[in-house]
Amino acid sequence: MPAVGAPAQALGIDIGGTGIKGAVVNLDSGRLESERHRIPTPKPATPQSVASVVGQLVDQFGWSGPVGIALPSVVRHGVVHSAANIDASWIDTDARALFAPVAGSHVTVLNDADAAGVAEMAHGAGRGVAGVVITLTFGTGIGSALFVDGRLVPNTELGHLEFRGESVERWAAASARKRDDLSWADWAERVNTFLGIVDGLFSPDLVILGGGASKKPDHWVPLLDQRHALAVAELANSAGIVGAAMAAVAGR
C-alpha cells in the first residue's frame, strides 16, 4: 500500500483474447506508474490458467495493494455470466473468489469495456461530460459502457444487439474488417449503421470510440455521420488497465 501522503495507487489488469496486460496506476492522474507488463493469454484461457497468469503479474509487480481486473464478459458482483470471446468454462465462475488467492482479498472484477469507459470518463474523452455518454470499444468484439451523468450502468453489452440474426459485433467489430477483407470505408459504413442503432436506443450526448481500432482513427472516424457527438478515446491501450485499477478503489 502507498505510504501516507503518496498518491493512491492500484494494480490494473486487463484480460484480453491475446494478451493479459497489467500496470500500477496512479489513481489521481490516471497515468501508469509502472511499465506495462503483457503475458500472452494462455490457450485454452480457462479460469485456472488465467488466474495463474494474473498471479505471475502480481508477483512481477511485487504488489500487495488493491487489484482491479477487467474481463470480456458480463460480470455481476464478481460472478461471470457470459463468455463470447473467452472459454465457455468461465460462465458462472465466481471470478472474485478465483482471483483472491493470487491477487489478494482486495480484488474487484468488472467488464473490460466498463473499465475502459470508467477511465475515459475520469481521465479521457468523457472528462466532465454530463448526460448520456457511451464508450464503445472496437476490437475482437464490441464492448460498451453506458454512463448517465457520470454514473456507470454496467454490462450493457451493446455488441450483442441482434443484427441480421447474429450479434452485431460479428459484423461490425474491428475483427470483421480483417476477416471480411473490407476497406476502411466499407467497415466505417458498418460502424455507422451500428452507431445509428445505438443512437435510436439511447440518444446519447457523446459516443467515445475506443478499442484497438481507435489507434488509427483517421482511417474511419471522419467517415462517420451521426447526430450525436463523437470523440476518439484518449487512453487507447491503457484504458482497461486504468479503469480496472480505479474500480478497485471506487469510492475512496
User: According to the binding rule CB under 6 A, does residue 214 interact with ligand BGC?
Assistant: no
Instruction: Choose between 138 and 220: whose C-beta lies nearer to ligand BGC.
Output: 138
CB of 76 to ligand BGC, least distance (A): 12
Tell me: does residue 84 bind ligand BGC (CB under 6 A). Answer: yes
Taking CB under 6 A as the binding criterion, the range among 109-117, 146-154, 201-209, 225-233 that sits at the site for ligand BGC is 109-117
**Can you give the chain as a three-state secondary structure string?**
CCCCCCCCEEEEEEECCCEEEEEEEECCCCCECCCCEEEECCCCCCHHHHHHHHHHHHHHCCCCCCEEEEECCCEECCEECCCCCCCHHHCCCEHHHHHHHHHCCCEEEEEHHHHHHHHHHHHCCCCCCCCEEEEEEECCCEEEEEEECCEEECCCCHHHCEECCEECHHHHCHHHHHHCCCCHHHHHHHHHHHHHHHHHHHCCCEEEEECHHHHCHHHCHHHCCCCCEEEECCCHHHHHHHHHHHHHCCCC
Candidates 34-42, 47-55, 110-118, 193-201; binding stretch for ligand BGC (CB under 6 A)? 110-118
Of 57, 92, 65, nearest to 252 by C-alpha is 65
Among 78, 93, 110, 112, binds ligand BGC (CB under 6 A): 112
Is 117 a binder of ligand BGC (CB under 6 A)?
Answer: no
Q: What minimum distance in Å lies between the beta carbon of 219 and ligand BGC?
A: 20
Size of the site for ligand BGC (CB under 6 A): 16
Q: Does 156 bind ligand BGC (CB under 6 A)?
A: no
| Interface segment toward ligand BGC; rule CB under 6 A; list 107-115, 174-182, 225-233, 242-250 | 107-115
Q: Is 115 in the site for ligand BGC (CB under 6 A)?
A: no
Note whether 210 binds ligand BGC by CB under 6 A: no
What residues make contact with ligand BGC under the rule CB under 6 A?
A: 72-73, 82, 84-85, 111-113, 137, 139, 141, 143, 157, 159-160, 169
